[in-house]
Amino acid sequence: MLKFGEFRLDARNECVWRGEEMLALTPRPFAVLRYLVEHPQCLVTHDEMLEALWPETYVQPQVLRTYILELRKLLGDDPVCPRYIQTVPRRGYRFMAAVADAEEADAPASNGIVGRAAELKLLAEHLKRVRNGERATLFITGEPGIGKTALLDAFCAANGTDDGLRVARGQSIEGFAGKESLYPVREAVNEMCSADEAKARPAMQAAVRDGSASITSLCETFETLAANRPLLLIFEDIHWADRASLDLIGALARRRSRAKLMLVATYRPADLDAAHPLRQIEQDLLNNARGANGSGGSRIQELRLAPLDKESVREYLRRQLGAETLPPGLTSLVHQHSAGNALFMTAVLDHLKGQNLFRHDGAELSLRVPIGEIDLGVPDGLAGLIEFQLEKLSEEDRRLLEAGSVAGTIFPAWAVAAALELELEEIEERFAALVRRVKLVSIAGYDELPGGGRSAFYVFSHALYREALYTRLPSTRRAQWHRRVAERLRTMFAGQEENVAVEIAAHVEAGK
């Protein structure tokens, strides 16, 4: 079986597993999923898929769209920001997630991180090809704290001591893009030259000394160094990089001259607006790059890090707490509050340790209080990060999200409309624009309302964002909004109040 994210593809039984749950698929959608999973990070055109799956049968290309819709529904995939299946307009599809053999992916990693065996395997495969002179470029993407740097740390630790491999690593810094040209490139060069032989130092330092070197000369310098020995060139957080650094990354990725060069760049998609130069550079590269070796693999790929699944969180807790068996409910608590974000997971565990909630009795681990009585709130280690992200929002956007927090981690648009005393249509229009700009919330679907109407509902990307927004509300405003939501429930369900009695009671109590 092949594993991707929290799913396993079972070719023998033609089904997909999520944990112990078997998700059945009809034969044709399963065939489409299997083909995509067996060609991860590769552009699969409509014609290629139809020819491979049904060579003797005429199938209209638009039927593929129906199968893809069914697969996205099964996987819970967002077509706007996909974790699994990306649509390449007018060309085909690309399977985004890293794929590994289920047994290998589930095995505990020996490098200190959990849940990233498939991603480490993919990086290692690229490095193997680079050693044979086939250059490669990877964009590693994901939200803040998802584990991009930790993944690279583990990869470098496993391969950085290999004989002959050079590692040059630079990082962009927020606010530096307009102040110092080629900042991450300079940092990478200085790191490499400090550890490399003397002959590399003059060439590289001269190339970036005053920022006047052309992009072509910089590319040629890197390629010269990678002519005989493999070079791993890493640029982190390039959403903050200056234009010259982005142009260099784009040029290095496009060039096809033979070199033992592996270029890896990380960034946060949520920090790119429509006008960000990186968006056009990356899309151009990913849409046009195809493998030069004829195998269908691409020299340029995106590796999007998905949240850690519950089993990975359980493995992390076992290691950190030194216990094979964990208290019931602990894994679910940490996974729910971290939403699989590695940084949040670490902060939640540190917060629990700081409250002295664990009791060790020999090899037995237990909690000092019942799991249901633990109130995590916002861990101290994350309060500053979350507050910083919230402060970047406009006052109008922040007010929308604060009103949503009154209704919960998953909240309906009508509740926000009630709290702010605005029309439902206006609220949904504002949220449609907000979801496009920021990734703190996403649309989760639509609810049928009494009387035949419909209301969109949304979900916070992390429960901790909802918690931070809710706790920062002034108590009088919070109580007022709860009362308005309770009154709207009474009005909407007039004559059927018993169906929402629990919700009404909760808002009335919170509204004092």
Helix (H, G, I), strand (E, B) or coil at 88: strand
CA 277 remoteness from chain centre = 20
| pLDDT for the residue numbered 36 | 93
Q: Is the pLDDT of residue 495 over 60?
A: yes
Radius of gyration of the chain (CA): 25
Say how far apart CA 262 and CA 107 lie, in whole Å: 27
Token code pair at residue 199: 């002959």
CA–CA–CA angle 440, 443, 446 (5° rounding): 150
Domain 390-510 has CATH 1.10.10.10: yes
Say how far apart CA 183 and CA 171 lie, in whole Å: 8
CA–CA–CA angle 78, 80, 85 (5° rounding): 55
Q: Is the pLDDT of residue 181 over 60?
A: yes
Span 183-214, pLDDT tens digits: 898 888 887 765 555 555 565 556 555 455 68
> How sure is the predictor about 236, in pLDDT bands with cuts at 50, 70 and 90?
very high
- Establish whether domains 2-95 and 390-510 are of one fold: yes
Q: Would you kindly state where each structural domain of the chain is located, as residue ranges?
A: 2-95, 108-304, 310-376, 390-510
| pLDDT for the residue numbered 108 | 41
CATH class assigned to 108-304? alpha beta
Say how far apart CA 153 and CA 45 lie, in whole Å: 35
CATH code matching the domain that covers 2-95, chosen among 1.10.10.10, 2.10.60.10, 2.30.42.10, 3.30.1490.20:
1.10.10.10
Span 317-352, pLDDT tens digits: 998 998 888 999 999 999 988 889 999 999 999 989
Token code pair at residue 279: 């968006």
Q: Are 148 and 304 in contact (CB under 8 A)?
A: no
The overall average pLDDT reported for the chain is 84
> How sure is the predictor about 407, in pLDDT bands with cuts at 50, 70 and 90?
very high
Q: Is the pLDDT of residue 430 over 90?
A: yes
> How sure is the predictor about 294, in pLDDT bands with cuts at 50, 70 and 90?
very low
Q: Is the pLDDT of residue 284 over 80?
A: no
Q: Is the pLDDT of residue 414 over 90?
A: yes
In order of 36, 85, 98, 120, 390, the CA distances from 95 in angstroms are 6, 5, 8, 17, 32
Segments in 92-236 forming alpha helices (H): 102-106, 117-131, 148-159, 183-195, 200-208, 215-225
> How sure is the predictor about 27, in pLDDT bands with cuts at 50, 70 and 90?
confident
Cα dihedral angle (194, 195, 201, 207), rounded to 10 degrees? -70
CA 400 remoteness from chain centre = 24
In order of 87, 95, 231, 305, the CA distances from 35 in angstroms are 15, 9, 33, 21
Token code pair at residue 433: 């624009």
Q: Is the pLDDT of residue 22 over 50?
A: yes
Q: What is the mean pLDDT of residues 39-67?
A: 80
| The one-letter amino acid at 481 | W
Query: Which is nearest to 484 in space by CA: 427, 418, 425?
Result: 418
Q: Is the pLDDT of residue 83 over 70?
A: yes
> How sure is the predictor about 287, in pLDDT bands with cuts at 50, 70 and 90?
low
| pLDDT for the residue numbered 286 | 63
Q: Is the pLDDT of residue 498 over 90?
A: no
Token code pair at residue 201: 């130092």
| pLDDT for the residue numbered 107 | 46
The fraction of the chain above a pLDDT of 70, given in percent, is: 88
